[in-house]
């Protein structure tokens, strides 16, 4: 049990809740807009794809950063630096999850299967980016933004604008809150020649850019609401989501970063779940 617990901690399994609700939105949007018969097996495979891809990405990030994490007081307690998980074991875990991800897409449809290496290239490639660009947060956002459009493709096998709008929302949402999270390591990253928006723009500038990204998130959600012809139920969920975006920016100030974890973990997890519940209610009540 301790080994399982260590691997769940390695990949921060509970953080799957961030993008998973948007994958569920993409799936049920596809079912409702194309009048496709609901296939629970496909939904299960979509969820497995989310879990496998994210687990591979997180474990690879921990594997690649193992020498950096040792020197950072905040991350030195992670499983690879402490020896709870060997680096070789973590890499084997990454490979296993990549294979399981590709295998799951094979049973969905041919398009998802053919695109699976591209998706893995994005989510795994993120781990390298902070070594050469401050735009690493956007790459993470792109990786998680694949959730709604990927789930939509799993059902329909074709691209449409509406799920892309939700993908844009995820892109800017994740990029914005990852910038906030990176504030914790601003000085460490500077001293180790690592790149991030806080290193590039400073604390105040990073928070301002995070604000801008979250404004773009709100605009994407609003545009999706109008374009998709959603009812008042959707708009209640959108109001909750945008309100929690504002709340997390009230929690974190340039001179007070003590509530970053509350803003990052709790607020964003609640926001995505509540929003998904109202979107699904709108789809099936109206």
Sequence spans of domains, the chain: 2-285
Helices 20-33 and 136-156, axial angle in degrees (round to 10) = 30
Q: What is the pLDDT of residues 173-189, one digit of tens each?
A: 999 999 999 999 999 99
For residues 114 and 158, give the distance between their C-alpha atoms in angstroms, rounded to a whole number.
13
Q: What is the pLDDT of residues 261-280, one digit of tens each?
A: 766 677 888 899 999 999 99
Task: Flag whether pLDDT at 14 surpasses 80.
Answer: no
**Domain with residues 2-285, CATH architecture:** Orthogonal Bundle (1.10)
Residues 6 or more apart whose CB falls under 8 angstroms from that of 99 comprise: none
From residue 152, alpha-carbon distances to 96, 167, 234, 260 in Å are: 25, 11, 19, 32
For residues 154 and 50, give the distance between their C-alpha atoms in angstroms, rounded to a whole number.
12
pLDDT (mean) for 123-133 = 95
Asked whether the beta carbons of 155 and 165 are under 8 A apart, the reply is no
Residues 6 or more apart whose CB falls under 8 angstroms from that of 65 comprise: 75, 127
The pLDDT value given to residue 116: 96
Name the phi and psi angles at 151, rounded to 5: -65, -35
Residues 6 or more apart whose CB falls under 8 angstroms from that of 87 comprise: 63, 66, 80
Residues 6 or more apart whose CB falls under 8 angstroms from that of 193 comprise: none
Q: What is the pLDDT of residues 154-167, one digit of tens each?
A: 999 888 999 999 99
Name the phi and psi angles at 179, rounded to 5: -60, -45
Q: Which residue has the higher pLDDT, 14 or 37?
A: 37
Give this prediction's pTM.
0.94
Asked whether the beta carbons of 141 and 174 are under 8 A apart, the reply is yes
First to last CA, the chain: 45
Q: Which residue has the higher pLDDT, 283 or 15?
A: 283
pLDDT (mean) for 73-96 = 92
């Amino acid at each position: 049990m301790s080994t399982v617990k260590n691997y769940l901690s390695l990949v921060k399994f509970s953080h799957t809740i961030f993008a998973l609700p948007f994958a569920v939105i993409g799936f049920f949007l596809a079912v409702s807009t194309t009048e496709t018969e609901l296939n629970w097996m496909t939904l299960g495979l979509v969820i497995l794809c989310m879990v496998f891809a994210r687990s591979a990405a997180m474990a690879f990030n921990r594997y690649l950063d193992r020498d950096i994490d040792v020197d950072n007081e905040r991350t030195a307690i992670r499983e690879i630096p402490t020896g709870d998980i060997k680096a070789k074991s973590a890499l084997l875990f990454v490979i296993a999850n990549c294979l399981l991800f590709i295998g799951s897409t094979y049973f969905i449809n041919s398009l998802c299967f053919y695109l699976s290496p591209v998706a893995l290239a994005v989510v795994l490639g993120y781990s390298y980016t902070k070594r050469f660009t401050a735009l690493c947060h956007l790459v993470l956002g792109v990786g998680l933004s694949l959730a709604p459009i990927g789930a939509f493709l799993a059902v329909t096998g074709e691209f449409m604008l509406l799920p892309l709008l939700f993908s844009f929302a995820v892109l800017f949402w994740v990029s914005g809150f990852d910038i906030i999270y990176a504030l914790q390591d601003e000085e460490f990253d500077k001293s180790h020649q690592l790149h991030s928006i806080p290193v590039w723009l400073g604390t105040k500038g990073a928070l301002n850019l995070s604000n801008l990204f979250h404004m773009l998130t709100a605009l994407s959600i609003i545009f999706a609401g109008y374009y998709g012809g959603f009812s008042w139920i959707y708009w209640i969920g959108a109001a909750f989501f945008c309100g929690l975006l504002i709340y997390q920016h009230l929690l974190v100030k340039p001179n007070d970063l003590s509530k970053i974890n509350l803003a990052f973990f709790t607020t964003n997890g609640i926001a995505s779940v509540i929003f998904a519940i109202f979107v699904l209610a709108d789809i099936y009540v109206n």
